[in-house]
Amino acid sequence: MRQLVRLRFAMAALGLAFATLLVAPAQAAKRVALVIGNNDYKNVPKLQKAVNDARTMGETLKQLGFSVMVAENQTRQAFSETLLAFDHAVEPGDTAFFFYAGHGFEIAGQNFLLPIDVPAATEGQEELVRDASVLADRIIERLQNKKARTAILVFDACRNNPFERTGTRAVAGGGGLAPMTQLPEGVFSVFSAGPRQTALDRLSNNDNNPNSVFTRTLPRSCCNPARISCRWPSTRDALSAKWRRP
């Protein structure tokens, strides 16, 4: 139930972010999106649905008029190059949308997005993770430097601690990500789970949907930009119905 409440708030927040697109002036600059999905991790547990989530969101954003870049299974080097290409695509006044599905990890209140070649780490090796990962706050800074009019960041990355191993002490940090507070004006961030909570990939062991619980519901609610504001309640109802299943 707690995760359901968080999903409702996430949908409402994203609805507010999308609503800003509907009141944009006619001469507003372009809409640019980067969606990333990481499944094929080398040194931590692999994921099954992150790439599908990125593909689904990419198609949805195209319907909303975004020019979409889709990147899958990014190493640290590839991640950096992809972000640089995104930088080059965003111009002053643009609306920028960043979506990430994959492993994420919090260290000392900062959120890191993990590339597929992030090293396995144990207690006391937090700096390995920092150096090999992408700081989420840095993405916001880059979009601000490009003077994006609106920046929307969605993180479907709040899974379990990927560094836990039987018989070893894990890197400090639990499941989930830290809240991003005091965001600059025009910047919206949405997480698929509450602060330091984990998100669901499946509703049950018999759930064969190719997308995570968060991502499978989101596109149906925002694919029609003319009706975004009135479609968010239906998203919450859909989530409620799923959570009521035995």
216-225 pLDDT tens trace: 777 665 654 4
Domains and CATH numbers, the chain: 2-243 (3.40.50.1460)
Highest average pLDDT, of 117-126, 150-159, 172-181, comes from: 150-159
210 — pLDDT class (breaks 50, 70, 90)? confident
169, 122 in Cβ contact below 8 A?
yes
Highest average pLDDT, of 32-46, 156-170, 173-187, 229-243, comes from: 32-46
Confidence check: pLDDT of 69 > 80: yes
72 by DSSP, 3-state: which? strand
Per-residue tokens: 226: 């003319």
Beta bridge pairs of residue 106:
111
Per-residue tokens: 154: 């969605």
Alpha-carbon span 63 to 61, nearest angstrom: 5
Q: How far out from the chain centre does Cα 39 lie?
A: 14
pLDDT at 93: 95
226, 187 in Cβ contact below 8 A?
no
Pairing, β 67-72 against β 95-101: unpaired
Helix (H) or strand (E) holding 33: strand 31-37
202, 213 in Cβ contact below 8 A?
yes
Pairing, β 31-37 against β 104-107: unpaired
Highest average pLDDT, of 11-15, 34-38, 204-208, comes from: 34-38
Of 133, 120, 138, 158, nearest to 75 (Cα)? 133
Alpha-carbon span 216 to 210, nearest angstrom: 8
- Where do we find the tokens 């994203």? 14
242 — pLDDT class (breaks 50, 70, 90)? very low
Looking at per-residue pLDDT, the higher value among 17 and 39 belongs to 39
52 — pLDDT class (breaks 50, 70, 90)? very high
Q: What does the DSSP 8-state code read for residue 170?
A: B
- Average pLDDT in the chain: 75
pLDDT at 150: 94
